[in-house]
């Protein structure tokens, strides 16, 4: 694919400051900051601790908790690791959380088959961004499509992340869970939200059909 976006450097995850012991970790959650003021914290300290106790590493971008009066040190007390830059977090994570739209730079550095949970206004998507999602077979959730109150966000994200990480049959979970049907806009690289597809000028597919074995 020819693209106008060219990264200034190649990311080498082995050079990042934290080494994740994959023998002792089931998965890794990355939580990124955004420039949005008063953004909700997508997982609580207690939920982070529960994931860590369940052998899920949690990587937090420095300064994420500032607006919530949570210091970087407090995150580490609950088992998370603090990292300065977002690109190593993306490179090391199974699921990446960001309470803001992913930029084209973020999407470019996603790994194949990665999962992202973010806000996802349809008008923010370009054809180029969607091509990256398709080529990398990304599964993406738009938390904004659920029209949640701020007080509901942490428990909802916790449920979404838990299902995406631990479900033995993700297709079956999606079929039975209206929350997934409303919020998943890209499934294994297939765009399944009409407004996003129209904004990017690409075809879209119904999520139920993508998750249902018709044979």
Q: Is residue 57 part of a domain?
A: yes
Q: Is residue 4 part of a domain?
A: no
Structure tokens at 67: 């607006």
Element (H, E) at 51: helix 45-53
Please determine, for residue 39, whether its predicted confidence score (pLDDT) is greater than 80.
yes
- At 46-63, the pLDDT tens digits run 999 999 999 999 999 999
Q: Is residue 103 part of a domain?
A: yes
Cα 48 versus chain centre, distance: 15
Q: Is residue 5 part of a domain?
A: no
Structure tokens at 116: 């992202």
Q: Is residue 7 part of a domain?
A: no
Please determine, for residue 20, whether its predicted confidence score (pLDDT) is greater than 80.
no
Structure tokens at 125: 């998507």
Q: Is residue 2 part of a domain?
A: no
Please determine, for residue 167, whether its predicted confidence score (pLDDT) is greater than 90.
no
Q: Is residue 54 part of a domain?
A: yes
- CATH of residue 102's domain is 3.40.50.720
Which structural domain, as residue segments, surrounds residue 73? 23-211
- Residue-level pLDDT at 180: 92
pTM metric for this prediction: 0.86
Q: Is residue 6 part of a domain?
A: no
- Residue-level pLDDT at 19: 47
Total number of domains in the chain: 1
DSSP-based helix, strand, coil % in the chain, nearest 5: 40, 15, 40
How many beta carbons lie within 10 A of that of residue 81, not counting itself?
A: 18
| Core vs surface per residue 39-50: b (16+ CB within 10 A) or e | bbbbbbbebbbb
């Amino acid at each position: 694919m020819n693209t106008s976006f060219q990264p200034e450097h190649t990311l080498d995850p082995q050079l990042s400051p934290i080494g994740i012991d994959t023998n002792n970790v089931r998965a890794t959650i990355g939580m990124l900051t955004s420039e949005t003021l008063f953004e909700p914290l997508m997982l609580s300290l207690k939920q982070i601790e529960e994931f860590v106790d369940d052998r899920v590493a949690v990587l937090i971008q420095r300064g994420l908790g500032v607006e919530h009066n949570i210091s970087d040190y407090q995150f580490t007390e609950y088992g998370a690791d603090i990292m300065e830059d977002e690109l190593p977090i993306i490179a090391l994570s199974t699921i990446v959380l960001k309470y803001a739209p992913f930029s084209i730079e973020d999407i470019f550095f996603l790994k194949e088959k990665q999962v992202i949970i973010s806000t996802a206004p349809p008008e923010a998507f370009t054809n180029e961004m969607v091509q990256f999602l398709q080529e990398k077979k990304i599964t993406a959730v738009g938390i904004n499509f659920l029209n949640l109150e701020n007080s509901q966000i942490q428990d909802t994200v916790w449920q979404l992340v838990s299902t995406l990480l631990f479900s033995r049959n993700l297709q079956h979970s999606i079929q039975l869970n209206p929350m997934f049907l409303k919020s998943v806009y890209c499934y294994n690289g297939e765009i399944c939200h009409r407004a996003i597809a129209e904004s990017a000028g690409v075809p879209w597919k119904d999520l139920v059909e993508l998750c249902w074995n018709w044979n």
